[in-house]
């Protein structure tokens, strides 16, 4: 799940950047000039946010004209992930808290992606409940996952995560419900400190 979520995140932010709409980056694999840093007063605008200074700096400073993406394997930065559910959950709560500080257009587009996933699951279930021919629903589910397998599978292969491609449907559903849980946990009690 951690590898899948990291892969999806990378596919999204790199795709957005490649299409002229950069919204985030990962600090351990970023490069920028001191001029770019000082032009937006560095991290000063998000000093009180619990982490995410890399994301928020990119969200603030990056444009289609000053951003490029390198996806060569020699440029990969490998990180050791959290090794327990609790540590990963805490990290993800902070990340969700950071995303709320993105520019409005980025929050909208990322939210639309998430809502489209939930909407698809709900529409499929409602279709079955209300007796729509199950063959139509099954056909749509198969078509959607064929497209997801092609697009996400290509990205995961590029990031050397090919062994999780067969599990994409299961991992997507698990991730969507995990993200829902994280959202509702943060609404009730946002993280107050770095752990």
Q: What is the pLDDT of residues 59-93, one digit of tens each?
A: 888 989 999 998 888 888 888 888 888 899 888 88
* Per-residue model confidence (pLDDT) at position 191: 63
**Does residue 160 belong to any structural domain of this protein?**
yes
Percentage of the chain lying above the pLDDT 90 cut: 45
DSSP string, 111-158: HHHHHHHHHHHHHHHHHHHTT--HHHHHHHHHHHHHHHHHHHHHHHHH
Mean local confidence (pLDDT), 135-160: 93
Contact in structure between 77 and 26 (CB atoms under 8 Å): yes
Banded model confidence at residue 190, pLDDT cuts 50, 70, 90: low
Q: Is residue 195 included in any domain, yes or no?
A: no
Asked if residue 15 has pLDDT above 90, the reply is yes
Q: Which of 123-127, 183-187, 188-192 has the lowest mean pLDDT?
A: 188-192
Total residue count of the chain as it appears in this document: 195
The count of structural domains within the chain is: 1
d(CA 49, CA 193): 9
pLDDT score of 80: 85
Q: What is the pLDDT of residue 55?
A: 83
Is the distance from CB of 43 to CB of 57 less than 8 angstroms? yes
pLDDT above 80 for 161: yes
What is the overall mean pLDDT for the chain?
88
**194 inside domain:** no
Query: Average pLDDT of 18-38?
Result: 88
pLDDT of res. 98: 81
**17 inside domain:** yes
Q: What is the mean pLDDT of residues 44-62?
A: 81
Whether 183 has a pLDDT exceeding 60, the answer reads yes
Average of pLDDT values for 19-42? 87
Q: Is residue 20 part of a domain?
A: yes
- Report which of residues 50 and 90 the model is more confident about: 90
For the four alpha carbons of 16, 77, 86 and 46, in that order, the dihedral sign comes to: negative
Q: Is 20 left (phi over 0), alpha (psi -120 to 50) or beta?
A: left
Provide the residue range defining the domain that includes 79.
2-188
pTM for the complete prediction? Answer: 0.86
48 pLDDT higher than 80: no
Residues 176, 114: contact at Cβ < 8 Å?
Answer: yes
């Amino acid at each position: 799940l951690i590898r899948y979520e990291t892969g999806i995140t990378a596919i999204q932010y790199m795709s957005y950047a490649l299409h002229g709409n950069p919204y985030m980056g990962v600090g351990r694999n970023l490069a920028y000039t001191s001029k770019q840093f000082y032009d937006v007063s560095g991290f000063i605008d998000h000093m009180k946010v619990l982490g995410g200074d890399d994301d928020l700096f990119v969200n603030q400073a990056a444009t289609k004209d000053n951003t490029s993406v390198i996806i060569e394997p020699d440029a990969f930065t490998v990180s050791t992930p959290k090794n327990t559910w609790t540590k990963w959950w805490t990290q993800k709560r902070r990340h969700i808290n950071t995303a709320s500080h993105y520019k409005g257009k980025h929050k909208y587009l990322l939210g639309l992606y998430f809502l489209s996933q939930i909407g698809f699951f709900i529409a499929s279930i409602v279709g079955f409940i209300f007796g729509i021919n199950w063959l139509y629903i099954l056909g749509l589910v198969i078509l959607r996952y064929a497209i997801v397998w092609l697009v996400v599978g290509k990205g995961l292969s590029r990031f050397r995560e090919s062994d999780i491609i067969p599990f994409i449907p299961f991992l997507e559903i698990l991730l969507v419900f995990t993200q829902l849980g994280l959202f509702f946990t943060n609404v009730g009690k946002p993280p107050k400190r770095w752990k």
